[in-house]
Structure 1
Amino acid sequence: MKPLVVDALASGKGERIATRDAIGAGPRAVAGVLEAHGHRPRILQVEALLRMGRIPDGYDVLLISGMTSDLAAVQRAAKLWKSDGPIIIGGPVASEPERVLGRTGAAAAIIGEGEATLGEMLQAGLDKASFTGIRGLAYLEDGETVVNQLRPIQGKEVYERYPASTRTMKDYPLHYAARVYVEAVRGCSNYNRARTGPLGSRCTACRQCTEAGLTERYDCPEGIPPGCGYCSVPSLYGPPRSKPVRVLRDEVRGLTEMGVRRLVLSAPGFLDYGRELQVEPEPLTDPRSPEPNYEALEELFESLGSLPGLSEGEVSLMIENVKASLVTDRAAATLGRHLEGTPVSIGFETGCPNHSRLIGRPDTPAECLTAVRRLRRAGLKPYVYFIHGLPGQTEETVDRTVKAISESMRLGAERVTLYRFQSLPWSAFSECPSGPPAAKDRMSRRIYEAAQEANRGRKKEAMGSRLRVVLAEPYDRDPSLMVGYPMKHGPVVLVEGAAGREGEVVEVQLTTVASDRAVKGRPTDAMF
């Protein structure tokens, strides 16, 4: 068998724009399962495949990984498949199996966690007759979608049985400059429930999800899906399970040996790392208690920090998201000691306390502001997230959100990341319509303009400063400029006077704001 894995993550209709320098962990996890079963997969990014206009010769199995918003790209990739071999779809896009199978003609879709399901499929030789007995699988039978019983949440042993592939890293042309995501925690501890929308309005205020025991919180008497209303992570992936330090160390070492320079430890909430060890055998379904597992965090950072490349500062290590409810002074100090100068993201989503409670958030806007202040004082670069068009958005929630954006910047936030609300299957807001574009909604436009103004201000303040970037590729709109990605924190830099220096890490001085997404700069070694 010769499998081709297509990475369609964050590609929308078939091309990454804002996420061009990001490489997700999912396709490498798929490749790791294939490698464990003796196969040698190749990963191909969907935009490269679509430019080619055909599937490369010799492959007999096509596996496509995508987000819910990537269905168009997944469909376009599937249409290029001319082999008699099967197409298998995975990732969050597979959470709507009837839709994805109907639009792609794929043989099967893997719902939720995929390692054990794909492993069973491979053991059966991808024989369609075996699909009926494999949990977590949906497939087409005589033109009808059959959805098998869902698979229970996988145990941590799956991480050692199926380590993520590092060999396939070089299949990504920009691996030497990209942010490469390494899954550190799977699942989320926020088992609060939304209290608004068609599903959330069923809430009877029984408080089981916020005050009962950890096992009791797992289920809602009214059937409301767990977590923030706009998120499907708890429904699809369950409560947190952390990768063992030795597994992460081996993966990080393998990636750096492949030439990776920017690593991101990914998690729905990084401070959940090791926290489940403090409550086992119960599930970690409380986003606030116990406090972070400081000993586990220290062990992880010390182990990774001693690896070649990281210990000399030639490779940068970052994290993704944290829950503000877990950002204690000690947690901030721990992160600052090991990750100084790197970004860390905090999700506000709304600036209104009551709205925050109604959408199922694990923390309050006031706690988010406190987290920004603590992380900034610890030497980190806080990024703050907001969502416009959420169910329950009103003039009042917009007023409070605009104020929260302003206050977060005053306290030291470096960037505002703004998303438009998208209705996701398996979430409490799955029956709500997605929000309109900011340009078409007056209230959402106010939030958008506040975020834009905040980010422009930060870029202007950065002019004249210096930062280290890795030079990736010529800028497509002006090949005389090189695209530089920051080793730690900062904007994308269009670097003048650096043609032909792909792969080099250079210090640049920022000179002008080029756009909402980028600034211009010059290498300091070419300024004199």
Structure 2
Amino acid sequence: MIKKKWDILLVSEEAPLQEDYWGDFVRYVKSPIEELGGKWPAPHAQHLSIVALATYLRRHGFKPAAVDNIFRLASCAEKFRRILAEGVPVVGISTAMLMEKAAVERIIDEIRAINPAATIILGGATAERQSEVRALGDITVIGDGERALLEVLQALKSGRDLKGIANIYYRDGGRMRYTGSSSDMEINEIPPADWDLLDVRPSLFYAVEASKGCRYKCAFCSYPQLGRQALKKPELVVEELLRNRDRYGTGVQWFSDSNLTSWPDHTQHLCELMIRRRLNVPWSGYVRIDDIARNPGLAHKMREAGCVGFFSGIESGDDSVLRAMRKGYDAKTAREGVRIAKDAGLLVHANFIIGFPGETEETVENTLEFIRKAQPQTAAFTVFWIPVNSDASVWTDKKQWEIRGEGTRWTHRTMDSEQAIAHLRRAMSVVVNEMPNTVIADEYLIVELLGYGLKLEEAVSYSSALRDFHRAKNLGLDELKGKAAGHILDAHRKIDRFLDRSCRAL
């Protein structure tokens, strides 16, 4: 009989939304290197979700194994299958980055084929919102998973009934039963992540949470705990940042909070502690642009503390659409925030949603005019998406919004999803061909490249080379295309050398 080494195996992977949501952007980023005979790096940066859970379980006496990149790296796939074959009794799957049911099914099919007796526990937004995904597993944890998962493992080990554990769905005969909700876990009780639980950490990019939830209630947003945001003590956050640097060799830290600047005084204090403790590690995160506009000194303090730039969901350059979205600011305020951040030496990544109810050809033009004037260094466009079974107003109040459909297939009184995709493609083309000071990129591109071992100036140069490659190809500028190709290939040689080292088991 094989001795069970582990109490639970925690796994994660990434599978983005379907083609019509991210397809154009993915092609934009990947097609130049593929045309030049290379390929975009396969592994994604290690996920905080399973490491945070494994850390909490280990500190409460359980033996967790954690494996990321299970379909992207051969060594991770081998470990995943080996632990299953050893008969691990419980497997937990994070669906936080698995946006489609098919991706979850693929993992579960492999688990069932190798270890059919394993109890499968799901967690993360996709399982929480989609009953057909929950039905694939035996148990689903709702919300923050640390406490509920610990109680589930304790119950399974002792043979106790699951019905007394809050915040879970569990299989009872042929149906899934919900046990009801309880208060969230106190954020300051969550320990810093033990990243050494992962044998392979492909990236120098490490995520950290300084808060949970979101203070705001934008109409399109499905972020957990809308309207409330719990802040972690800045002293604990900085200790974790220093720990990541000293133990794991962090190259860039990413604040995965919904909005790092919800309470600017709190962010200011956090930055002052980073400076005082001499963190000296580049970092980035999500920031509301109006927080920067209304607190002019904050951007300079963030830069002094090591911030290289931030992602801001500006979402539209049209005031009527911003009001409908319930963003709480106008285009003028957003432009001022971009200006202040750039003056402080920060890279501004601006995201824009195309197709929100009320969107028209004119409002899309206003967004493009906003980009022309504000000139964020990088920008991205996404098609309006209706998050199913979420707390987002566009889902709960669909009739009020006159929306039919869901996900990325929808129609409303001013536009449908096919028209939105056409507007998105045109917007990308306009930025690439007509706006030399703004580069198409996603929220992670610069920090992802830093995580792959590039220096900041190399990462910025790479994103510019992507723009130049596409522009030269569109306009027949062979000399510019050749120069851009050289930058792209040089960067990928460095990335490949880095990954050859980092993807070996530690």
Please give the TM-score of this superposition, normalised by the length of structure 1. 0.70
Q: Which residue of 1 aligns with 2:473?
A: none
Matched, 1:139 2:170: yes
Mapped to 2, the partners of 1:444 and 1:299 lie a distance apart of 43
8 Å contact from structure 2 (residues 251, 451) kept in 1: no
Mapped to 1, the partners of 2:438 and 2:329 lie a distance apart of 30
> Which among 79, 93, 105 is matched to residue 64 of structure 1?
93
SS in 2 for 1:64: strand
Q: Which residue of 2 aligns with 1:448?
A: 425
SS in 2 for 1:109: strand
CA 1:48 to 1:469, structure 2 compared with 1: closer, same or farther past 3 Å?
closer
Mapped to 2, the partners of 1:78 and 1:45 lie a distance apart of 15
CA 1:248 to 1:461, structure 2 compared with 1: closer, same or farther past 3 Å?
closer
Q: Which amino acid aligns with 1:145?
A: M
Q: Which residue of 2 aligns with 1:149?
A: 180
CA 1:170 to 1:339, structure 2 compared with 1: closer, same or farther past 3 Å?
same
Q: Which residue of 1 aligns with 2:501?
A: none
Question: Which stretches in structure 1 are left out of the alignment for 5+ residues?
Answer: 191-226, 276-290, 474-482, 496-509
CA RMSD of aligned residues (A): 3.9
8 Å contact from structure 2 (residues 271, 302) kept in 1: no
8 Å contact from structure 1 (residues 121, 127) kept in 2: no
8 Å contact from structure 2 (residues 383, 424) kept in 1: no
CA 1:385 to 1:33, structure 2 compared with 1: closer, same or farther past 3 Å?
same
Shift of 1:520: 4.2
Q: Which residue of 2 aligns with 1:268?
A: 258
**Following superposition of structure 1 onto structure 2, how do residues 417-436 of structure 1 map, counting pairs within 5 Å?**
417-424=380-387, 425-426=389-390, 427-430=392-395, 431=398, 432=403, 433-436=406-409
For residues 133-157 of structure 1, the C-alpha deviation after alignment (integer angstroms, 9 at most, x for no partner) is: 1111112211212122123233233
Mapped to 2, the partners of 1:322 and 1:20 lie a distance apart of 29
> Which among 196, 207, 231 is matched to residue 181 of structure 1?
207
For residues 341-387 of structure 1, the C-alpha deviation after alignment (integer angstroms, 9 at most, x for no partner) is: x2212212122212211122232222211110010011101110101
Q: Which amino acid aligns with 1:96?
A: R
Q: Which has the higher strand share?
A: 1
Q: Which amino acid aligns with 2:90?
A: V
> Which among 239, 249, 252 is matched to residue 228 of structure 2?
239
Shift of 1:406: 2.1
Q: Which amino acid aligns with 2:165?
A: I
Mapped to 2, the partners of 1:358 and 1:401 lie a distance apart of 15
For residues 12-66 of structure 1, the C-alpha deviation after alignment (integer angstroms, 9 at most, x for no partner) is: 5899967955444222211222222222422222423799497223233211112
8 Å contact from structure 1 (residues 42, 171) kept in 2: no
Matched, 1:298 2:271: yes
Q: Which residue of 1 aligns with 2:299?
A: 332
8 Å contact from structure 2 (residues 313, 352) kept in 1: yes
CA 1:151 to 1:232, structure 2 compared with 1: closer, same or farther past 3 Å?
farther
Q: Which residue of 2 aligns with 1:362?
A: 328
Q: Which residue of 2 aligns with 1:414?
A: 377
Q: Which residue of 2 aligns with 1:519?
A: 488
Q: After alignment, is 38-47 or 28-37 more displaced?
A: 38-47
8 Å contact from structure 2 (residues 383, 417) kept in 1: no
CA 1:381 to 1:449, structure 2 compared with 1: closer, same or farther past 3 Å?
same
CA 1:469 to 1:240, structure 2 compared with 1: closer, same or farther past 3 Å?
closer
SS in 1 for 2:214: coil
SS in 2 for 1:69: coil
For residues 455-503 of structure 1, the C-alpha deviation after alignment (integer angstroms, 9 at most, x for no partner) is: 56677999xxxx9997988xxxxxxxxx9574885265799xxxxxxxx
8 Å contact from structure 1 (residues 181, 264) kept in 2: yes
Matched, 1:108 2:139: yes
Matched, 1:167 2:189: no
Mapped to 1, the partners of 2:366 and 2:177 lie a distance apart of 46
Taking only the aligned residue pairs, the percentage that are identical comes to: 20
8 Å contact from structure 2 (residues 9, 64) kept in 1: no
Q: Which residue of 2 aligns with 1:507?
A: none
Q: Which amino acid aligns with 1:490?
A: V
SS in 2 for 1:361: coil
Q: Which residue of 1 aligns with 2:12?
A: 7
CA 1:402 to 1:333, structure 2 compared with 1: closer, same or farther past 3 Å?
same
CA 1:415 to 1:21, structure 2 compared with 1: closer, same or farther past 3 Å?
farther
8 Å contact from structure 1 (residues 336, 380) kept in 2: yes
8 Å contact from structure 2 (residues 311, 348) kept in 1: yes
Mapped to 2, the partners of 1:487 and 1:66 lie a distance apart of 34
Mapped to 1, the partners of 2:344 and 2:54 lie a distance apart of 38
8 Å contact from structure 1 (residues 188, 268) kept in 2: yes
CA 1:472 to 1:302, structure 2 compared with 1: closer, same or farther past 3 Å?
closer
8 Å contact from structure 1 (residues 6, 46) kept in 2: yes
CA 1:142 to 1:135, structure 2 compared with 1: closer, same or farther past 3 Å?
same
Please give the TM-score of this superposition, normalised by the length of structure 2. 0.72
Greater relative contact order: 1 or 2 (C-alpha under 8 angstroms, separation 6 or more)? 2
SS in 2 for 1:379: coil
Mapped to 2, the partners of 1:469 and 1:112 lie a distance apart of 27
SS in 1 for 2:297: helix
Q: Which residue of 1 aligns with 2:69?
A: 45
SS in 2 for 1:28: helix
8 Å contact from structure 1 (residues 153, 237) kept in 2: no
Q: Which residue of 1 aligns with 2:476?
A: none
Mapped to 2, the partners of 1:458 and 1:349 lie a distance apart of 18
CA 1:47 to 1:322, structure 2 compared with 1: closer, same or farther past 3 Å?
farther
Shift of 1:400: 1.9
8 Å contact from structure 1 (residues 175, 259) kept in 2: no
Mapped to 2, the partners of 1:238 and 1:368 lie a distance apart of 21
CA 1:428 to 1:75, structure 2 compared with 1: closer, same or farther past 3 Å?
same
Shift of 1:268: 0.9
